[in-house]
Amino acid sequence: MSKNKLVFLSSDSIAIPCLNSLRSGYDILVVTKSDKSQKRSNKKQANEFAIYCEDNNIPVIKIDKFTEDILSKLKNHSAEYAVCFSFGLIIPNSVLNLYPNKLLNVHPSKLPQYRGPSPIQEALLNGDTTTAISYMIMDSKMDEGDILKQITIDIKDTDTYTSLAQNIANISGENIANVLKNYMDGSIKAIPQKDNATYCKMIDKKNGEIDYNNTAKEIYNRYRAYYEWPKIYTYWNDKKLILTNIEYSDISNKELGEVFEIDKEIFIQLKEGSIKLNELQLEGKKNMPIKAFINGHKEFIGSNLISSQ
């Protein structure tokens, strides 16, 4: 018995559980972003989602944009439905018209909250205690399509982008097959989004720099959001210092920006609290535990990172 055909658009490993949930029931053609040149070697590197598909013999088309040739390949696949999750390219009307009201998008936020490209990071930046996975019908406007299903997800205080994205990936994969099936058979209906939408923006490398006008909690949340990229950093002795593993602390009895030690633990004093340093990476060096860093840089304790900027 032949399988129903489906097109799956993604360029992010977060979508792998969704793809796996659909593989047994559908003949899938994947569309993903083209291999990217690496800065140092200039060699082409496929994204993790593309690598997974190639390793598992899933047909893949790699694109920079939707050309007439790509549209022809999509038409030849003859899929009635398509699924999109973290694709990374604008989907034009020429593609939407191939799947009228049948292109499902998976968006990791409580739509209409956090429309845009960085909803997971935005939830962490804002210290939210919950987020959601929204299964929606894609239209020509950014994340404004009607909602098929929305699943609320708790955010732990210790969640970083990595752990939260993995939880979202797993839960979205557990539900995608039923959502798609129920939409196909008409047992769930699309519901228009409510008003009061909020938006998030593309993340820039400079967003990782610590602003000492922010509170300790705000900086900790920035660390959680930018855990994978661009990471948070400050400067010490004219060198970039990446804070690769930190914790929030309510200790607050030193000068703003001062590095201090209490019970063999190292902290940076911030507004309304401090952050405890567990691991650091100094520019040009490897990431290391704080104790090893201090062994090689004893003058770090007592320095002021604001004056080092």
Q: With 80 as the cut, is the pLDDT of residue 307 above it?
A: no
pLDDT at residue 2, as a whole number: 72
Q: With 60 as the cut, is the pLDDT of residue 1 above it?
A: no
Please report, rounded to a whole number, the percentage of residues in the chain having pLDDT higher than 70. Answer: 98
Q: Express each pLDDT in 67-115 by its tens digit.
A: 999 999 999 999 999 999 999 999 999 999 999 999 999 999 999 999 9
Which of 33-47, 168-182, 211-225 shows the lowest per-residue confidence on average (mean pLDDT)? 33-47
Q: Where in the chain is the domain with CATH 3.40.50.170?
A: 4-184
pLDDT at residue 252, as a whole number: 92
Q: Express each pLDDT in 277-302 by its tens digit.
A: 999 999 999 999 999 999 999 999 99
Q: Express each pLDDT in 116-161 by its tens digit.
A: 999 999 999 999 999 999 999 999 999 999 999 999 999 999 999 9
Selected from 3.40.30.10, 3.10.25.10, 3.10.310.30, 2.40.30.30, the CATH number assigned to the domain covering 205-300 reads: 3.10.25.10
pLDDT at residue 291, as a whole number: 97
pLDDT at residue 262, as a whole number: 96
Q: How many CB atoms lie within 10 A of CB 265?
A: 15
Cα gap 286→280, rounded to integer Å: 9
Cα gap 289→144, rounded to integer Å: 45
Q: Express each pLDDT in 260-273 by its tens digit.
A: 999 999 999 999 99
pLDDT at residue 146, as a whole number: 97
Phi, psi of 193 (to 5 degrees): -70, 155
Please indicate whether residue 9 or residue 40 has the higher confidence score (pLDDT): 9
Would you identify the CATH topology of the domain 4-184? Rossmann fold (3.40.50)
Please report, rounded to a whole number, the percentage of residues in the chain having pLDDT higher than 90. Answer: 94
Q: Where in the chain is the domain with CATH 3.10.25.10?
A: 205-300
pLDDT at residue 271, as a whole number: 97
